Amino acid sequence: MVNGERITELIGKVKDLCRNVALVDDNRLLLEVDTEKIIDLSHKLKDLEFDHVKGVTGVDYPNESIIEVIYYIGSYSRTDYANLIVELKITLPRENPKTPSLIKIWQSCEYPERETFEMFGVMFQGHPKLKLLLLPDEFKGKYPLRKEFKIPEEGIEI
Amino acid sequence: MSTEKLLEVFIGPQHPTSGHMRFIAELDGDIIVDFIPDMGWVHRTIEKIAETKTYIQIIPLIERQAILDSANYNLGYILALEKLLDIEAPPRAQYLRTLICEINRIASHLYGIGIHGIMLGSSTAFMWAFGDREPFIDLMQMISGARLTYSYMIPGGIRRDIPHDFQDKAKKAIKFMRKKIKDYFDLFNYNPVTLNRLEGVGIIKKEDAIKLGLVGPNLRASGVYYDVRKAEPYAAYPEIDFEIAGRNEGDSLARLLIRFDEIQYSMNIIERVLDDMPSGPLLTNIYLTKLTGEKKELLKKGIVRFPTLFTALKTKEGECLARVESSRGEAIYHLISNGLLKPYRCRLITSSFRNVIAFKHALIGHKLADIPAVYGSLDYFPPEADR
């Protein structure tokens, strides 16, 4: 079980590399980080036995002209971190968003990063196969989960 | 070895087994040297559609990502929504949620076992599993009125109480299944044909399972005993004493057998839930007081009609992450709300999407003929992964 002490200890180890650290819920630690430091922070988390990425999410904010990318990171190896999810959040410009891929650190982010690429157009530099995953190869239009993308309608609704 | 010797084989996407999915296998002779899962054939942009629906309309939508396992997926969304609404379901509702999730887990595993059986050429296992799934589906129908898509959990509670004869029917189904499991072991699991095809095939070692970030039974069959029901208990799981299944071999046989273990443990949970079920309201008090007239009368019969405010349900501004252990593993929901009628972002991370990476790993070095054995053992469900 994660108790307060564990989290305080964890925050102490990573806070130098982060722009902002917050405990958003009982078991959710949010680390906001700059893209330049994400590799260092990821290595540090990996050393602390955060051994897998549960998923990667993008969130589009057209008004602020940014895209947020969130990595959900967890640990199977340490039972005292079992209920903890670390959210690693980076903020990217909406025009030409790019960030280093973490696939060399966590192999498990291969498919999630690819999905975030096709849905939001975030370029994960160093990812070996940044191609469409869920969308068909002949898909036209850009980035379905960005806010300006409208789902084409067939006009059959009455 | 030059690449000219390699043969590229396309498998699917015309429903190779449990859904539309394509594999690209590179073969040297009949040995697999590269195996690429190509997904997305049943992608329905559920996350995008969710941004255009109100919070209540999303409930039936979200179940469609895995209709076999709709109760668990329904619950994960409701847990995230309840945190945003700052409400909690009363104890009886929590127990009933656990009950329906576990019945659903049994039905879902039996589906997976049946599909695995037919992939190995054992039509008996297929027929048995699909037949034996019926009593559990009937139980769900008794509670919710639907066979597969229940939409049973609503914010703050559940839709319906169990009928008075439910306990007996459930115990009868469990008694039947316990007897029947022995038959599966005699005729299918320990059949020399099954053993030859599964034992030592598609091994995923513990460290690889961790590295690949697998979830659910596939992870626990490789010796990592991680289960969200224990790691971060929700619904009535904190109050119930239960075991989680675990095996260490990491091969296809372990992944088949662990599903039988889980069926047995789920039946234990169902018995405990039925025995310890507290009495009390089905809906949180804030909403109960809003029910008047006919709706109040129906409540006495155990039927919850939606309070009118559900049509314009608004949450506070903010975001919330919730997770559940679905039949195939951990499912994560991230809801971001800007205080309006519809969510700003509704992120779903499903278990099959996380398990798809296992295909790339588990089949390398095996023969082409081993594909069905390993594919079936991973219990991969394409609609769940594609969303």
**Total beta-carbon pairs less than 8 A apart between chain A and chain B:** 90
Would you state the pLDDT for residue A12? 80
Beta strands in chain B (DSSP E): 7-11, 22-28, 31-38, 153-154, 157-158, 318-326, 329-337, 345-349
A106 interface with B at CB cutoff 8 Å: yes
Q: Is residue B336 pLDDT above 60, yes or no?
A: yes
Mean pLDDT of the region B189-204: 88
Alpha helices in B228-329 (DSSP H): 228-231, 252-276, 285-288, 294-300
Higher-confidence residue: B284 or B19?
B284
Kindly list the domain boundaries of chain A, sorted by start residue. Answer: 4-125
Mean pLDDT of the region A22-37: 85
Would you state the pLDDT for residue B3? 59
Looking at the partner chain, which of A77, A83, A115 has a beta carbon nearest the beta carbon of B210?
A77
CATH number at residue B137: 1.10.645.10
Q: Residues with Cβ < 8 Å from A109, sequence gap 6 or more?
A: A53, A56, A71, A101, A102, A103
What is the overall mean pLDDT for chain A? 86
β partners of residue B337 = B318
Mean pLDDT of the region B364-387: 88
Q: Is residue A2 pLDDT above 60, yes or no?
A: no
3-state secondary structure of B302: coil
CATH 3.30.460.80 fits A4-125, yes or no: yes
CB contact under 8 A, B356 and A144: no
pLDDT in tens, B269-316: 999 999 888 988 888 888 888 878 888 788 778 888 888 888 888 888
Higher-confidence residue: B95 or A139?
B95
Number of separate domains in chain B: 1
Q: Is residue B363 pLDDT above 60, yes or no?
A: yes
pLDDT in tens, A103-119: 989 989 899 999 999 89
Q: Which two tokens stand for residue B55?
A: 């919070």
Q: Domain of residue B66: give its range.
A: 3-386
Would you state the pLDDT for residue A1? 45
pLDDT in tens, A65-105: 999 999 999 999 888 888 889 999 999 998 889 899 999 89
CA dist A35 and B186 (Å) reads 57
Q: Is residue A125 pLDDT above 60, yes or no?
A: yes
Residue of A133, A149, A153 to mutate for B, most B C-beta atoms under 10 A = A133
Check residue B186 and report its DSSP letter. Answer: I
At residue B118, what are phi and psi to the nearest 5 degrees? -70, -30
Would you state the pLDDT for residue A49? 87
Mean pLDDT of the region B223-236: 89
